[in-house]
Amino acid sequence: MRMGWGNTYRRRMRVFTMAVVIYLDYKALQQREKWASSAKKSALWERAHERNARRVHNLIIELEGLWVKFGQYLSTRADVLPEAYISRLKQLQDSLPPRPLQEVCRTIETELGKSMDDLFSDFVKVPLATASIAQVHRATLLDGQEVVVKVQHEGIKTIILEDLKNAKAIVDWIAWAEPQYDFNPMIDEWCKEAPKELDFNHEAENTRTVSRNLRCKNTGHDDNTNANRVDVLIPDVIQSAEKVLILEYMDGIRLNDLDALEAFGVDKKKLVEEITRAYAHQIYVDGFFNGDPHPGNFLVSKEPPHRPILLDFGLTKKLSISVKQALAKMFLASAEGDHAALLSAFSEMGLKLRLDMPEQAMEVTTVFFRTSTSAKESLETIKSLNEKRTKNMKVIQERMKLKPKEVKRFNPVDAFPGDIVIFSRVLNLLRGLSSLMNVRIVYLDIMRPFAESVLQGNISRGPRVNDQWIYDTPVHSDVEAKLRQFLVELGNNDKILGIQVCAYKDGEVIIDTAAGMLGRYDPRPVQPDSLFPVFSATKAITAGMLHWLVDKGKLTLEENVANIWPEFGSNRKDLIKVHHVLNHTSGLHNALSDLLRENPLQMSDWDECLNRIAVSVPESEPGQEQLYHYLSYGWLCGGIIEHASGKKFQEILEESFIHPLQIEGELYIGIPPGKCVESRLATLTLDKDDFQKLSGISNRPDMPSTFQPGDISQVITTLPVVFNMLNIRRAIIPAANGHCSARALARYYAALADGGMVPRPHSSSSKPPLGSHPHIPKFSSSQNVSKRRKGCKSKEESAVSINRTNESEEIPNYGDVSHRRNTSGDGSTKLVNDSSNSNSNRISTTDCEDSNPQNNSVVRIFSNPRIHEAFLGVGEYENLALPNSAFGLGFRRTKSKEGSLLGFGHSGMGGSTGFADMNNRFAIAVTLNKMSIGSVTGNIINFVCSELNIPVPAEFSRFSEMGADAESSFGRPLIN
């Protein structure tokens, strides 16, 4: 049956009959192979592939039209389809039976309005190629120019549109019969885009646009300084009409002519890499790309350097700036293993998932951009991917509690944007092309520079070219205005990617500034409510929780940990007391160090880490040597907190600080799932220049043997990758996984600076208001812990403990706001006015039962009047801390240059820091996402303290001015 013959009904019946025959053939084979031996199974499948490939090929030749294009696409998928299909369908890339010359001439004369003699001095009757929509003849214009003439087949438009309907019906049927193979998003986009190929005026304009974008006529190569320049050829458009297109003739070798490529000495790997670079440029730089890169649409120039010749721009796709950036972000998030950025990219491009499974989403995307392999290797890869898919579906089945039949019909994608369909088709065609040419292409390396240019060209050159680099919030003080200018200087010197600084003085906010962007590849601006990973700055929050339980009479600082946590008493740990843990003198400084070397992902298993701590062996006697417990500290404190309180770690965090300080939604240790949180996450990156200085820093005696500068320099490059992973961000790692805004962390320190007094409500001019985000109070990560073994202390016992309450102390009442809270039925906590309690001056002492602290007016979060001494390990607590050591009880002691005690705080790996000066009622927090060894943070704190004329902490005072000299003299990085 020739194309155009027969009626619509007959074509449709042929297609559907063949689809059913092939489907039933494979279903029957699945039953037969159950009784076949292993040796026979392979032969059975090979014969089935051969006969069905022959059926598909013969039907395509019979029907032509759109089915030829479909067959050409399948012929490039050597990475997916069996060899029998590839060898058969490759024949469609060469040529189809030509249309009669009389028909061709008639179309040319009708479309161009001139006779053949008035158009050409010579017209070659035998076509160069015949394709699904048109055929191409070589010709010579009257002026002697060599051209090719592309002429559309008569009646093809009607047939193509009918074929699209048939293809859509088949896809619908397959999706019904085998729901895991739902190709509707692809066919829907194809139905929308394919008819555009039928207008050659459209193709002519596309050709000119792509040629201009790729600067194909820039023969002088004067743009050689552009690293993303591509070296390809595209024929000039001479003339066009709806059904006729005349192009410049370019002599070239077809890609499937492997013998000719070999004879001309063509480097096939370099050729495919350059084609891939051309498409990366079209997609990421131009946002306008050819959607049909099958082998028939390429030639290779015969003259060195054998450049690719790009043909046929009928099917193109134009991307909006936002989608282009989202695609770039998706690619780079996949390359960096950044789950939060990946999910953010999905959201920006309109891809919606039905499940919260970031690890599986990352796995699928990574597969999408995987390195190409040869056809033989690809079949093994596909087998492996199918096994992973089966495993993932089992996870989905368990999580969704689906029955086996329901799993088969479950689609984890809720919405698939059309823009992604053509994009994914291009990547699949390119992958098939590399398999066909039997070359290995590393897509991540080739495409990364183009994807980076999309985002970096738009956002990442700092304040010098971005007048919105400082987020637009009110200035609270003169010092904040000056600080913003200082931050601009640091940003222009490429020392800041994204940052927040918040400071309190005398209980009032004097600085609340956000600047930069959320990540190296995330163009969104840092806002006051953005959440930064602060690493070991988390330890100060965990320590505060433990002090809070001591203050509430749940335990004492002098108790043996084994008395609280019985499993902990093994392996000579029965003499370790609570204050030893807080003072970093328990001897467990290297406990869990193997996690970072063996498998950092084990940090996300709360129960496993607690169990490891329980069976760990100390390396020194408790209280004898202070060595920084860089990783073990969090689980030591966490285990004590849960066993002493009988509650989960997260519950105590909320009860002790989140709710009283009104910082809901902006301070987490282990973030909860959900877009409200994930969309505000900053992404970590490294200041590589800064961390190179670690190699020149000698070992530090105050650090454990597994956490010396040399060790840090070896693992530092992996930390952003690990801690950008969403499953790690969600883990409870109380030593290193705090996520907070600077304003939440500063408010915490402001309360501590005032002995636990809750500051006035945070500035109402800050948008969104602090504490306004929905808070998710329920977590399932940590174990259910039993009530404390002895029962809690009575109020009388608490009164005579070392943390006694001074009943006569007067506590000021702000009077202008009530801190009374009411818990609604949905679990969210809301502020309510209650003037009857406006004179209450302290939080009521809680006993062991689950009294509701939200029903008590909160002015203080600590009742102990000497809580500062407890934090610092001085005064009445002096015998609980190692003399003259860097750490008190949970906090780093901060001294002036002269050696006097100023306050306390804690820094994290990378520079995020919180600090309180109780003498001057000053608190400051700095959060940042470009990890350094502390130079930026040191400069900022030095600057602010100097402007306020208050003592500069010694560890920051060396940063008296910004510059290389100040940084090079910094011998003690802020790694704790």
Cβ contacts of residue 677 below 8 Å, gap of 6+? 531, 665, 668, 671, 739, 773, 776
Question: CA 839, CA 885: separation in Å to the nearest integer?
Answer: 41
| Distance in Å from the first CA to the final CA of the chain | 78
Q: Which helix (H) or strand (E) holds 917?
A: strand 913-917
Residue 94 designated active-site: no
Dihedrals φ, ψ of 695, to 5°? -65, -20
Question: CA 596, CA 616: separation in Å to the nearest integer?
Answer: 16
Residues in a beta bridge with 930: 685
120 three-class SS: strand
915-948 burial string, b = 16+ CB within 10 Å, else e? bbbbebbbbbbbbbbbbbbbbbbbbbbbbbbebb
Question: Which residue, 463, 413, 424, 205, is CA-closest to 293?
Answer: 424
Instruction: State the number of CA atoms in the 13 A half-sphere of 218 facing the CB.
Output: 15
SS (H, E, C) 353-381: ECCCCHHHHHHHHHHHCCCCCCHHHHHHH
Helix residue ranges, H only, 646-708 = 649-653, 659-661, 675-678, 688-691
Question: Which residue, 792, 11, 104, 926, is CA-closest to 503?
Answer: 926
The number of angstroms, rounded, from the C-alpha of 788 to the middle of its chain's C-alpha atoms is 41
Copy the structure tokens of residue 534: 């602060």
Question: Which residue, 667, 863, 846, is CA-closest to 755?
Answer: 863
3-state helix, strand, coil in the chain (%, to 5): 45, 15, 40
Helix residue ranges, H only, 583-708 = 593-598, 606-614, 632-645, 649-653, 659-661, 675-678, 688-691
Among 292, 512, 529, 687, the one annotated catalytic: 292
Helix residue ranges, H only, 764-887 = 795-799, 867-872
- Separation in Å, CA 206 to CA 196, 296, 761: 11, 18, 59
Please answer whether residues 731 and 604 qualify as being in contact, where contact means their C-beta atoms are separated by less than 8 angstroms. yes
Question: CA 73, CA 93: separation in Å to the nearest integer?
Answer: 9
Cβ atoms < 10 Å from Cβ of 969: 9
Residue with tokens 């074929």: 163
Please answer whether residues 880 and 866 qualify as being in contact, where contact means their C-beta atoms are separated by less than 8 angstroms. no
802-821 burial string, b = 16+ CB within 10 Å, else e? ebebeeeeeeeeeeeebbbb
Cβ contacts of residue 795 below 8 Å, gap of 6+? 553, 845, 847
**Beta strand pairing call for 930-931 and 685-686:** parallel
Question: CA 298, CA 234: separation in Å to the nearest integer?
Answer: 10
Cβ atoms < 10 Å from Cβ of 743: 30
592-618 burial string, b = 16+ CB within 10 Å, else e? bbebbeeebeebbebeebbebbbebeb
Please answer whether residues 541 and 747 qualify as being in contact, where contact means their C-beta atoms are separated by less than 8 angstroms. no
Question: CA 13, CA 11: separation in Å to the nearest integer?
Answer: 6
Question: CA 613, CA 626: separation in Å to the nearest integer?
Answer: 18
Please answer whether residues 941 and 907 qualify as being in contact, where contact means their C-beta atoms are separated by less than 8 angstroms. no
Residues with a known catalytic role: 292
